[in-house]
Amino acid sequence: MVARYPGAFWHPAGTDQGSNGGPSMVSTHGAITTGGGVAIGGWVSQSNACHGFVERNGAAYQYKDFDRVAYGMLDGNYKGGITWETWDGLRVAVATKRDVNVGNHDRPEGTWTDQQCERLADIAAFDQNELGIPAVKMGGTRDRGHGVHGTGIPNRETMQGISVYRGPDRWSTDNTKPCPGDKRIKQYFGPNLDGGDGSILARARVIAAGVRAGRFGYLPVGDVDLRSALARGVSGDEFDRATPEDIRQAVLAGLRG
């Protein structure tokens, strides 16, 4: 059995669909939902759709072990794919594709909350250290690394969205699906869409290095306390002289885009 993410509530859901052939890559999605991790667990029990979920305030739930199949990535399901869903504040009965890109309902900003960003970075750091999945943007849908749902959706730009498709595989039967939304894609990959400065993945690499050096640990279970989370010691020459408040301001400014 591969390691489970220690910062998540373990909430098993769904049925075992066999090995996914990995884990080797991660796809982060936006669930059209105003619900929490327990409610999403009920959906997973019926659909086997994801491995985990991140709530509005950063609490994480894991439903399946990362080497087992979840049906969130179509062609990637049996190629080592891990699917994380996230709260987006959209109401499923009325949400449109445009809403996913620009925001509406309970999250008009159309972005992940700061707590969600820090949790997603923590998860990606765990993936790098414990699962051997580097906290870098995937160059293609069969690479080891991190993507968003749009990485496997070839025509999402037809919804006037950002095209981040890398192929050759498709991760949805809907070729124009906007998930997880333009603003969240920029948070995950950064303003240059390369996984560099100002991205969740860049923050993940800092966290991963700090954990390896024994300076701090992964986030605890439950809602993310931003003050303590962002003040965690960091690793890397460019951060060694920075104060926790310097780091907090830099991280939040970058992730808000």
pLDDT at 160: 79
- Is residue 31's pLDDT more than 80? yes
- Is residue 114's pLDDT more than 60? yes
pLDDT at 143: 95
Do β-strands 52-54 and 145-148 pair in parallel, antiparallel, or remain unpaired?
A: unpaired
> Is the CB of residue 143 less than 8 Å from the CB of residue 132?
no
92 versus 1: the higher-pLDDT residue is: 92
Backbone angles phi and psi of 84, in degrees to 5: -110, 125
Domain extent listing, the chain: 8-256
Gap between the Cα atoms of 168 and 178, Å rounded: 18
Question: What residue type is 72 in one-letter code?
Answer: G
Gap between the Cα atoms of 96 and 152, Å rounded: 20
| pLDDT digit string, tens, across residues 65-91 | 999 999 999 999 999 999 999 999 999
Average pLDDT, integer, range 112-138: 97
> Is the CB of residue 158 less than 8 Å from the CB of residue 215?
no
- Is residue 244's pLDDT more than 90? no
Residue 115 tokens, joined:
């707590």
pLDDT at 246: 52
Residue 253 to residues 55, 91, 231, 246, 249, Cα–Cα distance (Å): 21, 28, 15, 11, 6
| pLDDT digit string, tens, across residues 146-168 | 999 999 999 998 887 999 999 99
pLDDT at 76: 97
Share of the chain above pLDDT 70, in %: 90
Across the chain, mean pLDDT equals: 91
- Is residue 28's pLDDT more than 70? yes
- Is residue 186's pLDDT more than 60? yes
- Is residue 94's pLDDT more than 80? yes
Average pLDDT, integer, range 191-213: 93
| Beta-ladder partners of 86 | 54
Gap between the Cα atoms of 229 and 243, Å rounded: 14
Gap between the Cα atoms of 233 and 109, Å rounded: 29
Q: Does domain 8-256 have CATH number 3.40.80.10?
A: yes
Average pLDDT, integer, range 3-30: 97
Global pTM? 0.92
